[in-house]
């Protein structure tokens, strides 16, 4: 059974979204403002559509926290959809009088290529693709970010920080500085596209404007960087304990993510081994690496599915959103006749937000790996195990005696 787990629920235009988060030890201080700050970060980014002007996401904590500290019991989080006010009839949980009015019910019969609309309608035996798209919508990532904010607070209490930035949008690739800023989000968040390269930022914005004019959409690549992890999370012994596999699965589960790289990623396949692997050194400053360092970090902080103590670096590639205002061809779900895909209000580009969601998923996987290795029902126990283990690996690297 995974040690840190969460479930989300809720439709994009339903009354609310919810998450139940299990596994947080007792005694973790919870900062609700920090959860809301993460939710705001996810709502931002150049290229979002009209919906983000309606919503102002705030998480209500319904269980598992008392007087600002976790109890060790499941934490329930709720975010209300403001847009629900405009959808009470089409999304009503109980039958309504206007049910025969397809337009009033906002029914969708023209599935969008690339979206879950068609395959979901086939699988779940629905004629109205709204029954599918309401849940397939990336609105669901709100609760991943809320749950991830709790995972971040757990990791933060143990000295681990997570940040992200946008590497490319629509084929415009940023020049990434050799040394990333220590506080990555403080540097990337002020950019409308969360990009560290101002020149690329300008071109990305122009491209998003052009895509909007053309009724088109754009994808891109985000990078997540985690600092402060001890060497030894994950394991080489079994396929499902390898941390790189778990991170890849978590990132690939995000809507529209089509590829994941760790460290050098696909580039490693193009080079000889001597230009890929990071030589091992003694490094007294690498406290959480047991006093062992590396020349470079092509491995992205993982060797054999185990953390090395170097920064963890993962990238995720997002395809362009499948809702096009200049739609592609499709087939009417009722008649089988050729048609144009539905023009549902949407975003032109959500890559900056995807970085925030990717941070949350990485935080959730890492919180699980930390709890698996160090366990404990309380923060006191967890801290004691982390400190004792870090002292143990430091002693290995000291080579005394």
Whose Cβ is closer to ligand EPS: residue 41's or residue 139's? 139
CA distance 352 to 147: 19
| Residue 89 · residue 98 · CB < 8 Å | yes
Report the residue from 8, 12, 70, 297 that binds ligand EPS according to the rule CB under 6 A.
12
Site track 333-352 with ligand EPS (rule: CB under 6 A), x = hit: -----------xxxx-----
CB-based burial label for 133 (10 Å; 0-12, 13-18, 19+): buried
Helix residue ranges, H only, 196-287: 198-213, 243-252
Site track 259-298 with ligand EPS (rule: CB under 6 A), x = hit: ----------------------------------------
Q: DSSP letters of 171-217?
A: TEE----SS--SSHHHHHTTSTT--S-HHHHHHHHHHHHHHHHTT--
Q: Alpha-carbon torsion 40, 181, 156, 245, what sign?
A: positive
CA distance 271 to 264: 10
Q: Quote the least distance from Cβ 255 to ligand EPS, whole Å.
A: 6
Whose Cβ is closer to ligand EPS: residue 67's or residue 345's? 345
Instruction: Give the H or E element holding residue 386.
Output: helix 379-398
Q: Quote the least distance from Cβ 81 to ligand EPS, whole Å.
A: 8
Instruction: Give the H or E element holding residue 58.
Output: none
Report the residue from 51, 194, 203, 227 that binds ligand EPS according to the rule CB under 6 A.
51
Report the residue from 49, 263, 293, 301 that binds ligand EPS according to the rule CB under 6 A.
49
Q: Which residues inside 54-83 make contact with ligand EPS, applying CB under 6 A?
A: 83
Q: Which residues inside 122-151 make contact with ligand EPS, applying CB under 6 A?
A: 133, 137-139, 142
Residue nearest to ligand EPS (CB): 51
Whose Cβ is closer to ligand EPS: residue 216's or residue 244's? 216
Q: Quote the least distance from Cβ 321 to ligand EPS, whole Å.
A: 7
303 near ligand EPS, judged by CB under 6 A: no
Q: Quote the least distance from Cβ 288 to ligand EPS, whole Å.
A: 35
| Residue 196 · residue 290 · CB < 8 Å | no
| Residue 366 · residue 186 · CB < 8 Å | no
CB atoms within 10 A of CB 107: 18
CA distance 171 to 110: 29
Q: What token pair was written down for 400?
A: 């005394």
Whose Cβ is closer to ligand EPS: residue 138's or residue 371's? 138
Residues that bind ligand EPS (CB under 6 A): 12, 49, 51-52, 83, 133, 137-139, 142, 323, 344-347
């Amino acid at each position: 059974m995974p040690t840190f787990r969460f479930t989300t629920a809720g439709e994009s235009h339903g009354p609310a979204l919810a998450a139940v988060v299990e596994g947080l030890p007792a005694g973790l201080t919870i900062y609700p403002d920090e959860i809301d700050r993460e939710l705001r970060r996810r709502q931002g980014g150049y290229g979002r559509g009209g919906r983000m002007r309606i919503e102002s996401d705030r998480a209500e904590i319904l269980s598992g926290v008392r007087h600002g500290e976790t109890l060790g019991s499941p934490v329930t989080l709720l975010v209300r959809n403001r847009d629900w006010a405009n959808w009470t009839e089409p999304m009503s949980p109980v039958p309504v009088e206007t049910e025969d009015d397809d337009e009033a019910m906002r029914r969708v019969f023209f599935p969008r290529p690339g979206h879950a609309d068609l395959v979901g309608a086939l699988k779940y035996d629905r004629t109205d693709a709204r029954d599918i798209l309401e849940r397939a919508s990336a609105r669901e990532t709100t609760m991943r970010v809320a749950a991830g904010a709790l995972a971040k607070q757990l990791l933060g209490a143990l000295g681990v920080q997570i940040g992200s930035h946008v590497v490319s949008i629509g084929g415009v690739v940023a020049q990434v500085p050799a040394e990333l800023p220590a506080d990555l989000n403080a540097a990337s968040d002020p950019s409308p596209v969360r990009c560290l390269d101002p020149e690329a930022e300008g071109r990305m914005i122009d491209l998003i404007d052009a895509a909007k004019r053309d009724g088109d959409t754009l994808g891109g690549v985000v990078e997540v960087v985690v600092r402060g992890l001890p060497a030894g999370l994950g394991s080489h012994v079994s396929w499902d304990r390898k941390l790189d596999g778990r991170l890849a699965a978590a990132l690939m589960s995000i809507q529209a993510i089509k590829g994941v790289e760790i460290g050098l990623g696909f580039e490693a396949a193009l080079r000889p081994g001597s230009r890929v692997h990071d030589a091992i050194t003694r490094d007294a400053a690498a406290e959480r690496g047991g006093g062992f360092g590396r020349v470079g970090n092509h491995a992205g902080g993982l060797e054999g599915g185990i953390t090395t103590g170097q920064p963890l670096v993962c990238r995720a590639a997002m395809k362009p959103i499948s809702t096009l205002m200049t739609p592609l061809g499709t087939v009417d779900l009722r008649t089988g006749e050729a048609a144009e895909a539905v023009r549902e209000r949407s975003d032109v580009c959500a890559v900056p937000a995807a970085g925030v969601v990717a941070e949350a998923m990485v935080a959730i996987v890492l919180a699980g790996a930390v709890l698996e290795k160090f366990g404990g029902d309380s923060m006191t126990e967890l801290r004691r195990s982390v400190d004792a283990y870090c002292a143990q690996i430091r002693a290995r690297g000291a080579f005394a005696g």
